[in-house]
C-alpha cells in the first residue's frame, strides 16, 4: 500500500512541477475561491450575530401576556335565523397575567428556559419643569431583568439600582429632560404621579428606546399603572434563541395566554436573515463550481500534454488504476494547497475588515472571526472538490492506449 501511494505521489508532484505555471495559477484560483467562501461565511455569521444581539439585547425571546379583551355576543344566534349585528372592538386595557406568581417557577423549570422576568409596562409622561416627554414605563425586578437583557452592562453613567423612588432611564430621554444621575423628575400615568430619582443612564442600542424608556421597581409600576400585585407580561430568555417559536407554540397550547416569540415580533428581520443565509449558500455553491471547473480544465490539459509520459508509464508496467490515482492525487494536492492558502488569505481579509471598517464611535463595526471548525470545513470541502474535479481527467488518462500514446 505504501509503495503505490509513494509512486502516485512522486509522479503527481513531478507532473505539477513540470507544468509549474499552470499549477501556480490553479492553486491560486482555488485559494481565491476558498478565501471568498470562508470570508463571506464569517462576515455573514458576524453580521447576523451582531443583528440578533442588538435586536434581542433589549427584548425577551418569548413573551407571555394576558389574552385580549373580546366582545361577547349578547345572545347565541339561532340556527337558520338571519341576524343583523354590528360589533365594535373593545378598547384594550392593562390586564395582569392571572396567577403569575405561581406560573414563574413552572416556566423556570422548563429545560429551554434560562430565565423568567415579570414586568409591568405601560405608557406615561415624564415631567421636569416645562419639559414633558412621552415614555414607556417598565416595572421590573432588577436582578431577574438584568439576567435577561444584561441591563447592567448597558449602563453609561451611574449605578444600576432600583430601590423605592428610584429609576433607570435611557440616555436620550435624560438629555431631553435635562437630568443627570441623582436628579429627580416626575412620572405621571393618568391621575397618578410619583417623583423618582435617576440612579443610572443606559444605552439600549436603539435610539428610540433610549428616548422613551423609564425603568422603575415592579411595585412602583404596579401603583402607577393601577395594577396592584399584577404583571402585564412574563418575559422569557432561552438558552437557544432559535427554539423560541417552537416553545411559544407549546406554551400557547398549554396555557390560556397570548404567547409571542421574538420571531413573530420581528418577522421582517427573520425573513432578512433567511435571505442572507440563502444568498450565502448560493455564493458558496457558485464559487465551488468555479473551483471544480478550474481544476478539471487544468487537469484535462495536463492529460493532453502528458500523453507520451502516460504511455511510457503504462508500457513500463503501470496499471490503469495507478494512472487513475496519479491524477486524483494531483487534484487532492491542488485542493489541499489551495485550501491552506485560501484560509490564510481569509484570515488576512478578516483582519483588514476589522482594522479598516469602523463605526462612528471609532470601534469595529461588529465582531467577525473565522472559527477553526468553519476553516476546517471549507478546506475539506475544497480538497474533496479537487479530487472530484480530477475524476473525469483521471479516467481519460487511464483509458489511453499505451502504443497510441507513445506514437503521438
**Whole-angstrom Cα distance, residue 326 to residue 394?**
8
For residues 389, 395, 398, 401, the Cα torsion angle rounded to the nearest 10 degrees is -130
Q: pTM for this one?
A: 0.71
Cell of 233: 407580561
**pLDDT for the residue 214:** 93
pLDDT digits (tens, 9 = 90+) for 20-63: 787 788 888 888 888 888 888 888 888 888 888 777 777 888 99
Q: Residue 275: which of 105, 51, 4, 109 has the closest Cα?
A: 51
Q: How far apart are CA 163 and CA 167, in angstroms?
A: 8
Q: Give the whole-angstrom CA distance, residue 187 versus residue 137.
A: 9
Q: How many CA atoms lie within 13 A of 188 on its CB side?
A: 12
**Helices marked H in 235-318 — which ranges?**
244-254, 262-265, 267-305, 307-315
Give, as one character, the DSSP assignment of residue 277: H
Positions in the chain whose pLDDT score sits under 70: 1-5, 68-78, 80-93, 304-310, 314, 359-362, 400-408
Q: How far apart are CA 183 and CA 203, in angstroms?
A: 18
The closest of 211, 223, 198, 191 to 136, measured between CA atoms, is 211
pLDDT at 148: 85
pLDDT of residue 310: 67
Q: What is the pLDDT of residues 307-366, one digit of tens each?
A: 666 677 767 777 777 777 777 888 888 888 888 998 999 899 888 888 787 766 667 777
| pLDDT value for 4 | 46
**Angle of CA points 381, 385, 390, to nearest 5°:** 155
Distance between CA atoms of residues 24 and 30, nearest Å:
10
Residue 294 has a pLDDT of 80
Question: Distances in Å between the alpha carbon of 133 and those of 43, 128, 175?
Answer: 40, 9, 11
Contact 329, 9 (CB under 8 A): yes
Whole-number Å distance between alpha carbons of 160 and 158: 7
pLDDT of 76 reads 63
Q: What was the pLDDT predicted at 402?
A: 63
Residue 295 CA, distance from chain mean position: 34
Amino acid at each position: 500500500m505504501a509503495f503505490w501511494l509513494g509512486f502516485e505521489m512522486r509522479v503527481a508532484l513531478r507532473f505539477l512541477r513540470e507544468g509549474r505555471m499552470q499549477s501556480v495559477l490553479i492553486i491560486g484560483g482555488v485559494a481565491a475561491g476558498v478565501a471568498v467562501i470562508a470570508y463571506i461565511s464569517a462576515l455573514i455569521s458576524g453580521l447576523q450575530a451582531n443583528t440578533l444581539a442588538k435586536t434581542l439585547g433589549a427584548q425577551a425571546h418569548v413573551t407571555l401576556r394576558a389574552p385580549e379583551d373580546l366582545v361577547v355576543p349578547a345572545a347565541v344566534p339561532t340556527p337558520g335565523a338571519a341576524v343583523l349585528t354590528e360589533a365594535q372592538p373593545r378598547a384594550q386595557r392593562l390586564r395582569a397575567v392571572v396567577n403569575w406568581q405561581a406560573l414563574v417557577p413552572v416556566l423556570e423549570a422548563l429545560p429551554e428556559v434560562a430565565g423568567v422576568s415579570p414586568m409591568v409596562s405601560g405608557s406615561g409622561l415624564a415631567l421636569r419643569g416645562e419639559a414633558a416627554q412621552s415614555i414607556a414605563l417598565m416595572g421590573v425586578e432588577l436582578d431577574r431583568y438584568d439576567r435577561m437583557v444584561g441591563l447592567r452592562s448597558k449602563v453609561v453613567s451611574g449605578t444600576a439600582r432600583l430601590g423605592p423612588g428610584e429609576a433607570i432611564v435611557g440616555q436620550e430621554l435624560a438629555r431631553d429632560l435635562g437630568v443627570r444621575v441623582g436628579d429627580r423628575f416626575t412620572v405621571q400615568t393618568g391621575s397618578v404621579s410619583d417623583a423618582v430619582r435617576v440612579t443610572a443612564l443606559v444605552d439600549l442600542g436603539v435610539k428610540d428606546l433610549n428616548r422613551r424608556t423609564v425603568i422603575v421597581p415592579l411595585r412602583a409600576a404596579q401603583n402607577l399603572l393601577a395594577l396592584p400585585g399584577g404583571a402585564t407580561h412574563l418575559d422569557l430568555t432561552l438558552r437557544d434563541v432559535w427554539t423560541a417559536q417552537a416553545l411559544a407554540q407549546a406554551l400557547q397550547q398549554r396555557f390560556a395566554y397570548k404567547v409571542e416569540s421574538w420571531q413573530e415580533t420581528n418577522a421582517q428581520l427573520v425573513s432578512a436573515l433567511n435571505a442572507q443565509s440563502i444568498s450565502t449558500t448560493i455564493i458558496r455553491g457558485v464559487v465551488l463550481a468555479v473551483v471544480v471547473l478550474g481544476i478539471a480544465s487544468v487537469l484535462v490539459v495536463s492529460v493532453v500534454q502528458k500523453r507520451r509520459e502516460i504511455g511510457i508509464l503504462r508500457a513500463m508496467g503501470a496499471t490503469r488504476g495507478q494512472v487513475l490515482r496519479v491524477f486524483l492525487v494531483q487534484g487532492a494536492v491542488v485542493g489541499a494547497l489551495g485550501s491552506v492558502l485560501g484560509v490564510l488569505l481569509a484570515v488576512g481579509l478578516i483582519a483588514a475588515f476589522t482594522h479598516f471598517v469602523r463605526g462612528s464611535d471609532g470601534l469595529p463595526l461588529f465582531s467577525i472571526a473565522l472559527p477553526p471548525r468553519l476553516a476546517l470545513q471549507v478546506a475539506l470541502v475544497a480538497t474533496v472538490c479537487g479530487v472530484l474535479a480530477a475524476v473525469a481527467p483521471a479516467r481519460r488518462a487511464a483509458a489511453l492506449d499505451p502504443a497510441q500514446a507513445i506514437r503521438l
